């Protein structure tokens, strides 16, 4: 058993001592079988949330209406969720209220895919009623029970299927694949934030292109706003070196460039403001780069790291080779760089010029930096002072 599970065994033991059932479930069991690193160790139990809270010293209510209590053991947080079913689905979404049950099997039945519907007890024994292990070995994503029904209950599962494709490098089993195409339209009922969150995980996975291809051919992509232009040219889009993208923002810049409706896309995808800001900067950088190579002043302003990001977006979307070495050379040759401390301050400029503060400070600073980059002014306090005084006399 992996050390993360071993550390959590006392939590299971505690629950069992009081006569409850308790198991490790979900992604951590799947990932450990795959020999992958595991992150969150989730626990399912027959104990009610109230009973769980009484058994542990430190707990936080994180989703009591879904039966989830966060339990701390030796400083580590564990989500402990009461066995439940989700019988009454409404509007193709998971219900607000759940029904607690006493059987592990019932709980595993409501889970999305066979690989996610396994449980492991404190001795490392696997409970695998839907043959998730076999599917993992054959690298197959298959719903627990009828895919039509399971996707109709909760349409988000369809996006989860393609995100797991990308993350795990698995294929979607054929009847599950067919149901994706038939039920994709139900995604119109799902909150965009949740669809965007799954999409982000898809893009960060190891096979994003394969997953996007399936998302396009099953029409899942249709339920991401403003991608009409991209969908029309999906062949060209998928022929780009998309895997070069290293961050969500880089990916979304390339997608936005291909979507041709950037502004409304940012809004409708419900992206956080900070993310939108970064994407806009990347696209602006891309557009400038498409006209000409970076100037020294531009490189000074954006810094080496962001220049590489822009270059990557430019190279991926334009299909031309990235010129990182040329950027690095130019940067290395610059007399001052973004990181270089300036030898003077705005206050110095006021003192030396005898003028009052105002917008001219910013402009003059910019002018001095530009001249430093051109090699006309040296980044030394006395040099700047003399230059300013002489300039003012003229």
In the list ligand ATP, Mg ion, none, the entry touching 173 (Cβ below 5 to 8 angstroms by class) is none
Helix, strand or coil, per DSSP, at residue 283: helix
User: What sections of 34-173 are H helices per DSSP?
Assistant: 49-55, 104-109, 132-137, 147-153, 156-168
- Binding piece for ligand ATP, criterion CB under 6 A, among 108-116, 172-180, 302-310, 334-342: 108-116
If one asks whether residue 205 binds ligand ATP (CB under 6 A), the answer comes out as no
In angstroms, what is the minimal distance from the CB of 42 to Mg ion? 6
Which is closer to ligand ATP, CB of 94 or CB of 381? 94
Distance separating alpha carbons of residues 200 and 198, to the nearest angstrom = 5
- Binding piece for ligand ATP, criterion CB under 6 A, among 128-136, 150-158, 255-263, 344-352: 150-158
211: left (phi over 0), alpha (psi -120 to 50) or beta: alpha
Residue with tokens 């923002």: 249
Binder of ligand ATP out of 9, 27, 133, 338 (CB under 6 A): 27
Helix, strand or coil, per DSSP, at residue 79: strand
Distance separating alpha carbons of residues 83 and 214, to the nearest angstrom = 33
Binder of ligand ATP out of 22, 23, 24, 26 (CB under 6 A): 26
In the list Mg ion, ligand ATP, none, the entry touching 225 (Cβ below 5 to 8 angstroms by class) is none
If one asks whether residue 107 binds ligand ATP (CB under 6 A), the answer comes out as no
Which is closer to ligand ATP, CB of 81 or CB of 218? 81
If one asks whether residue 132 binds ligand ATP (CB under 6 A), the answer comes out as no
Distance separating alpha carbons of residues 147 and 143, to the nearest angstrom = 6
B/e letters for 183-198, b = 16+ CB within 10 Å, e = fewer, are: bbebbeebebebbbeb
Which is closer to ligand ATP, CB of 112 or CB of 128? 112
Which is closer to ligand ATP, CB of 27 or CB of 303? 27
Binder of ligand ATP out of 128, 135, 154, 173 (CB under 6 A): 154
Task: Name the residue with the smallest CB distance to ligand ATP.
Answer: 27
Nearest to 164 by CA among 126, 98, 114, 127: 114
Binder of ligand ATP out of 107, 112, 128, 226 (CB under 6 A): 112
Task: Name the residue with the smallest CB distance to Mg ion.
Answer: 27
Binding site for Mg ion (CB under 5 A): 27, 40
- Binding piece for ligand ATP, criterion CB under 6 A, among 67-75, 154-162, 212-220, 375-383: 154-162
Distance separating alpha carbons of residues 8 and 12, to the nearest angstrom = 7
If one asks whether residue 173 binds ligand ATP (CB under 6 A), the answer comes out as no
User: What sections of the chain are H helices per DSSP?
Assistant: 3-17, 27-33, 49-55, 104-109, 132-137, 147-153, 156-168, 174-183, 192-204, 208-217, 228-232, 234-239, 248-259, 262-268, 273-291, 296-318, 324-333, 346-353, 360-373, 381-393
Q: How many CA atoms lie within 13 A of 328 on its CB side?
A: 4
- What the block records as the tokens of 248 is 């969500």
In angstroms, what is the minimal distance from the CB of 179 to ligand ATP? 14
If one asks whether residue 195 binds ligand ATP (CB under 6 A), the answer comes out as no
If one asks whether residue 147 binds ligand ATP (CB under 6 A), the answer comes out as no
Number of neighbouring beta carbons within 10 Å of residue 161 = 30
If one asks whether residue 116 binds ligand ATP (CB under 6 A), the answer comes out as yes
Number of neighbouring beta carbons within 10 Å of residue 124 = 13
55 and 14 in contact (C-beta within 8 Å)? yes
Binder of ligand ATP out of 156, 227, 282, 349 (CB under 6 A): 156
If one asks whether residue 142 binds ligand ATP (CB under 6 A), the answer comes out as no
Residues 87-106 that bind ligand ATP (CB under 6 A): 94
Which is closer to ligand ATP, CB of 116 or CB of 253? 116
User: Angle 208-217/156-168 helices, nearest 10 degrees?
Assistant: 150
Residue numbers at the binding site for ligand ATP (CB under 6 A): 26-27, 42, 94, 111-112, 116-117, 154, 156-157
């Amino acid at each position: 058993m992996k050390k993360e599970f071993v550390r959590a065994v006392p939590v299971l033991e505690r629950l069992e001592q009081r006569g409850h059932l308790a198991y490790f479930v979900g992604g951590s069991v799947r990932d450990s079988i795959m020999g992958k690193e595991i992150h969150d160790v989730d626990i399912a139990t027959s104990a009610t949330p109230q009973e769980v809270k009484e058994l542990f010293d430190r707990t936080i209510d994180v989703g009591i209406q879904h039966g989830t209590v966060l339990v701390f053991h030796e400083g580590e947080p564990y989500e402990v969720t009461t066995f439940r079913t989700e019988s009454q689905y409404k509007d193709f979404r998971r219900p607000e209220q759940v029904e607690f049950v006493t059987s592990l099997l019932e709980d595993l039945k409501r889970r999305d895919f066979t690989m996610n519907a396994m449980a492991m007890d404190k001795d490392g024994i696997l409970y695998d009623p839907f043959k998730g292990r076999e599917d993992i070995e054959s690298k197959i994503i298959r719903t627990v029970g009828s895919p039509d029904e399971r996707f109709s209950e909760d349409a988000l599962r369809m996006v989860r299927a393609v995100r797991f494709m990308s993350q795990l490098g698995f294929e979607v089993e054929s009847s599950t694949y067919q149901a994706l195409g038939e039920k994709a339209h139900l995604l119109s009922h799902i909150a965009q934030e949740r669809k965007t969150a799954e999409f982000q995980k898809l893009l960060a996975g190891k096979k994003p292109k394969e997953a996007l291809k399936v998302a396009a051919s099953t029409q899942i992509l249709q339920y991401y706003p403003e991608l009409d232009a991209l969908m029309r040219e999906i062949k060209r889009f998928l022929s780009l070196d998309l895997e070069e993208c290293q961050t969500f923002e880089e990916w979304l810049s390339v997608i936005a460039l291909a979507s041709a409706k950037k502004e409304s896309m940012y809004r409708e995808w419900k992206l956080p403001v900070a993310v939108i800001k970064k994407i806009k900067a990347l696209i602006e950088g891309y557009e400038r780069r498409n006209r000409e190579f970076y100037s020294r002043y531009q490189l000074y302003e954006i810094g080496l790291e962001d220049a590489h990001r822009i270059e990557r977006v430019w190279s991926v979307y334009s299909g031309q080779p990235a010129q990182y070495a040329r950027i690095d050379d130019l940067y290395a040759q610059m007399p001052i760089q973004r990181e270089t401390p300036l030898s003077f301050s705005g206050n110095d400029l006021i003192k030396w010029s005898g003028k009052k503060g105002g917008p001219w400070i910013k402009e003059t600073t910019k002018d001095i930096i530009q001249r430093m980059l051109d090699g006309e002014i040296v980044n030394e306090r006395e040099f700047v002072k003399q230059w300013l005084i002489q300039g003012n006399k003229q």
